[in-house]
Amino acid sequence: MVNTSVVLSGITLSNPVIPASGTFGFGYEFAEIYDISILGSISIKGTTKEARFGNPTPRIAECTQGMINSVGLQNPGIDKVISDELPRLRRHFKKPIIANISGFSVEEYVFCCEKIDKEECVGIIEVNVSCPNVRDGGMSFGTSPESAAAVTKAVKAVTSKPVYIKLSPNVTDIVSIARACEEAGADGLSLINTLLGMRIDLKTKKPVIHNKTGGFSGRAILPVALRMVYQVYEAVKIPIIGMGGVASAEDVIEMMLAGAAAVQVGAANLVEPYACKTIIDSLPDTMQKYGIENISDITGGAH
């Protein structure tokens, strides 16, 4: 009998499979089609201080083995998430969840993280530093070690729960940013977020996405994600949640061998709503196929 359980910052998950933020709503939507209690955890939709309608349409474009999105953090705002969305999710999912927080200034990150930290159902706070810093010319907080560290330090000062920083791959050196977050007190890291991409409509000869570019995700980015998780694992001592192109139990194992302690599944949920269930159901047989008894033992096994 294989053991699929993993531990993230003292929190035991029954398996390492977690739907990624932005691809699974607030979770309860999927409870209509299967028992979501089988999931290791859920990273809920990215939450900001104020409600956001998101970017103008079109904001989705299909690609070979992937997709581009420019949804723009559409969400009802932190207060509504706490008052409405979390209680709805709690009716279907009793395990600790991962709250994904976004902001456009350090103060916004602090405001939202301090509020969500008080929610009993939240096990881990995942801080998305891929947002544009409105006070620094619009560059993402995650593009420099200094900015990422500043957010990490500020958030850690007002929270008691583990804080995982979600890193952008759209950088020259992700390792230096990961180290800066660790030094600033991060309890863990999530990587990778989407790559920057675009599509052009041949009939109109214009970009498909209204905002021209968007986040490229899906199976095509798995090799990039694996490379970055592998590099960061060698550079830090804190746990990593790996993501980017994961769509099968084999992908989960590959990501963990690269260095992930747990794995998030993103775009696959948008293509196949049962993706996470299928991965979890097939994980024990896949582990046996490759002679794995305890899945937590394989983290970093490729090093």
What CATH number is attached to the domain comprising 45? 3.20.20.70
Among candidate residues 112, 113, 131, 276, the one labeled active-site is 131
Q: Which domain covers residue 37, as residue numbers?
A: 6-53+74-196+217-298
Q: What is the domain count for the chain?
A: 1
In the prediction, which pLDDT does 130 show?
87
Per-residue pLDDT tens over the stretch 192-217: 999 999 999 999 999 999 999 999 99
Query: 58 lies in a domain?
Result: no
Query: 94 lies in a domain?
Result: yes
Query: 61 lies in a domain?
Result: no
Per-residue pLDDT tens over the stretch 136-157: 766 789 999 999 999 999 999 9
Instruction: Determine the Cα–Cα distance for residues 112 and 71; give it in Å rounded to an integer.
Output: 20
Query: 101 lies in a domain?
Result: yes
Query: 59 lies in a domain?
Result: no
Give strand ranges (E) for 167-249: 188-191, 195-197, 200-201, 206-207, 214-217, 240-243
pTM of the model: 0.97
Q: Would you call 112 a catalytic residue per the annotation?
A: no
Query: 185 lies in a domain?
Result: yes
Query: 303 lies in a domain?
Result: no
Query: 212 lies in a domain?
Result: no
